[in-house]
Amino acid sequence: MISHTYALSEDELRIDGFFLADLNNRFSEQRVYVDLYLPEGQTVYLDNSTRTFLYDVDNVQNIYDNDMAKHYFQMTDDGFVCLDCGDDVIHVESDADSFNMKIDDNGVHIEIQEDGSEKSEVKIDASGVVVKSVKDSV
């Protein structure tokens, strides 16, 4: 029950940063999620206007979503790779176990990954708590 528009030109995708709904449609907390799938080898620039819209973007260098704006990324077989990021935005873990935690206005996001296992995540935000864990863990 919402209207959301976009424009695609030869080399640019513009997605509105808002959506419209009829006044009679008063459901609160409505959201629009856009999943963009890119072919391997494709390069994209995420301008600063994307900063607040990026959410849970997988990338090889563990760059936080809010830090991805104003950078070029290329899609590889392993995922997004930043082509122009400095060490200040790339988060590299030096040991076999990985622990990342981000606390900001959007909530808390914790990722844990042991060597050779799937990633476990805890997300706490205004909509509640979501726990995704590897089997045999709590």
3-state helix, strand, coil in the chain (%, to 5): 5, 35, 60
* Confidence class for position 82, pLDDT limits 50, 70, 90: very high
Residue 50: helix, strand or coil by DSSP?
helix
Per-residue pLDDT of 27-54, as tens digits, reads 767 777 778 888 999 999 998 888 888 8
Residue 36: helix, strand or coil by DSSP?
coil
pLDDT at 83: 94
pLDDT at 97: 59
User: What's the whole-model pTM score?
Assistant: 0.57
Residue 40: helix, strand or coil by DSSP?
coil
Are 85 and 71 in contact by the 8 Å Cβ rule? The answer is yes
Task: Quote the CA–CA distance of 111 and 123 in Å, as a whole number.
Answer: 9
Residue-range domain boundaries for the chain: 2-92, 96-138
Residue 66: helix, strand or coil by DSSP?
helix
